[in-house]
């Protein structure tokens, strides 16, 4: 039976991570980060390992065939290993954007930036980097630089490893993304926004979208912070909760959007992608206002069919193509 490149690489990552997990007395996710570093450098970087263990690892790495494997196979193999590690982890912020959503956001980013040959992309909640590298792989016909921010040092390391293995230029900041960011303005922002309350009221006070009472919504603050770092005319693609415009803090958000952006689209994702109705999300597409940029004649609104329903998706994409002809 033929093994796919993704499966073969996952097996190498899994086998070597298990060896390193035992030898280094670390978690499986930490071991995935260590073994990804080894794969990139084509050697064993952990000096504390004995020679026999190093030889076992080197033999496994030679089986990966990294010279003949595509970026998407690398991303998917790493994703499988990370998902395995997340199942063993009790940390609630260890979550990953479903693959189908990442690929659809990648498609949208390509459509909205058609004609641009060079882009700079930001993900202010980059996590493991899976969403960002999915988009970067989809924009392979353009010259793209990217920036990622995350407060979790393990997730940042996994992002770094994934970007290295896929040879993507990626600048990473290990910090709270709502603190000041020292990055140049970008053309595109993509993010699966962290949803919930932001505990640092003192920091939130610097934002227009701060709450008048109690904690502010972190996803509102992330939107404002992202816009600060987007070029005029740039696009932002956010995964947002379906109830974004219905919360008690939505009035401020409406006023902020009216002043700062043109809403290009709101695409409600199929319920089948989520555990329950309260966790369901939509893709919100914004464009930062600019003197020579006009709003769309109509906002792209849709309830997306199941992304695995090929016929329904083809019909939806045809309707979207028509929208692009009329509005872009």
Percent share of the chain, pLDDT over 90: 78
Q: The tokens of 169 are what?
A: 């230029």
Would you place residue 188 in the very low, low, confident or very high pLDDT band (cuts 50, 70, 90)? Answer: very high
Over the stretch 132-141, which tens digit does the pLDDT of each residue have?
A: 999 999 999 9
pLDDT of 2 reads 81
User: Contact at 8 Å (CB) between 274 and 280?
Assistant: yes
pLDDT of 311 reads 92
Q: The tokens of 285 are what?
A: 């597409």
The closest of 296, 262, 303 to 282, measured between CA atoms, is 303
pTM: 0.93
pLDDT of 5 reads 92
* Pairing assessment for the beta strands 118-123 and 186-192 based on DSSP bridges: parallel
pLDDT of 90 reads 59
Would you place residue 327 in the very low, low, confident or very high pLDDT band (cuts 50, 70, 90)? Answer: confident
pLDDT of 99 reads 84
* 153 pLDDT higher than 80: yes
The closest of 165, 172, 127 to 145, measured between CA atoms, is 172
- Contacts of the segment 37-44: beta carbons below 8 A, 24+ positions apart: 37/161, 37/164, 39/12, 39/13, 39/64, 39/66, 39/165, 40/161, 40/164, 40/165, 42/66
pLDDT of 279 reads 81
Mean pLDDT (the chain, rounded): 92
Would you place residue 93 in the very low, low, confident or very high pLDDT band (cuts 50, 70, 90)? Answer: low
Over the stretch 260-294, which tens digit does the pLDDT of each residue have?
A: 999 999 999 998 888 888 788 999 999 999 999 99
Span 24-51, average pLDDT: 95
In our burial notation (b when 16+ CB lie closer than 10 A, e otherwise), range 168-181 reads bebebbbeebbeeb
pLDDT of 115 reads 87
* 316 pLDDT higher than 80: yes
* Alpha carbons 10 and 4: distance in angstroms, whole number: 10
pLDDT of 91 reads 56
Span 119-125, average pLDDT: 97
User: Contact at 8 Å (CB) between 221 and 198?
Assistant: yes
* 92 pLDDT higher than 60: no
Percent share of the chain, pLDDT over 70: 98
pLDDT of 273 reads 81
Judged by average pLDDT, the poorest of 72-76, 92-96, 229-233, 243-247 is: 92-96
pLDDT of 94 reads 57
* Ramachandran region, residue 270 (left: φ > 0; alpha: ψ -120 to 50; beta: rest): beta
What count of Cα atoms within 13 Å lies in the side-chain half-sphere of residue 312? 9
* 248 pLDDT higher than 90: no
Tell me what percent of the chain is helix, strand and coil, each rounded to the nearest 5. Answer: 50, 20, 35
Over the stretch 163-187, which tens digit does the pLDDT of each residue have?
A: 999 999 999 999 999 999 999 999 9
What count of Cα atoms within 13 Å lies in the side-chain half-sphere of residue 58? 11
Domains of the chain: 5-88 (1.10.150.470), 99-327 (3.40.50.150)
C-alpha dist (Å) from residue 41 to 38, 82, 165, 290: 5, 20, 9, 44
* 328 pLDDT higher than 80: no
Sequence-ordered strand ranges (E) for 28-153 = 118-123, 143-150
């Amino acid at each position: 039976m033929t093994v796919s490149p993704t499966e073969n690489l996952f097996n190498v990552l899994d086998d070597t991570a298990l060896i390193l997990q035992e030898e280094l007395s670390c978690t499986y996710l930490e071991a995935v980060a260590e073994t990804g570093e080894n794969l990139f450098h084509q050697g064993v970087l952990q000096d504390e390992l004995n020679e026999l263990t190093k030889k076992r690892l080197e033999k496994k790495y030679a089986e990966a065939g990294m010279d003949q494997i595509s970026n998407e196979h690398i991303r998917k193999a790493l994703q499988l290993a990370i998902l395995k590690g997340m199942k063993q982890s009790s940390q609630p912020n260890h979550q990953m954007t479903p693959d189908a959503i990442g690929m659809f956001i990648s498609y949208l980013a390509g459509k909205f930036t058609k004609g641009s040959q060079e882009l700079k992309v930001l993900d202010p909640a980059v996590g493991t980097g899976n969403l960002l590298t999915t988009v970067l792989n989809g924009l392979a016909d353009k010259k793209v630089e990217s920036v990622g921010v995350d407060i979790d040092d393990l997730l940042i390391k996994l992002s770094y490893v994934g970007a290295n293995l896929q040879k993507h230029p990626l600048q990473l900041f290990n910090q709270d993304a709502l603190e000041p960011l020292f990055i140049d303005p970008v053309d595109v922002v993509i993010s699966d926004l962290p949803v919930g309350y932001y505990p640092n009221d003192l920091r939130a006070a610097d934002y227009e979208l701060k709450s008048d009472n109690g904690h502010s919504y972190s996803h509102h603050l992330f939107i404002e912070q992202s816009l600060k770092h987007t070029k005029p005319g740039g696009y932002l693609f956010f995964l947002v909760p379906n109830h974004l415009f219905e919360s008690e803090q939505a009035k401020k958000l409406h006023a902020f959007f009216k002043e700062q952006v043109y809403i290009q689209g709101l695409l409600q994702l199929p319920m089948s992608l989520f555990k329950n109705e309260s966790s369901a999300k939509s893709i919100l597409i914004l464009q930062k206002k600019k003197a020579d940029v006009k709003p769309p004649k109509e906002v792209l609104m849709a309830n997306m069919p199941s992304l695995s329903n090929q016929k329904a998706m083809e019909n939806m994409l045809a309707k979207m193509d028509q929208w692009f002809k009329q509005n872009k």
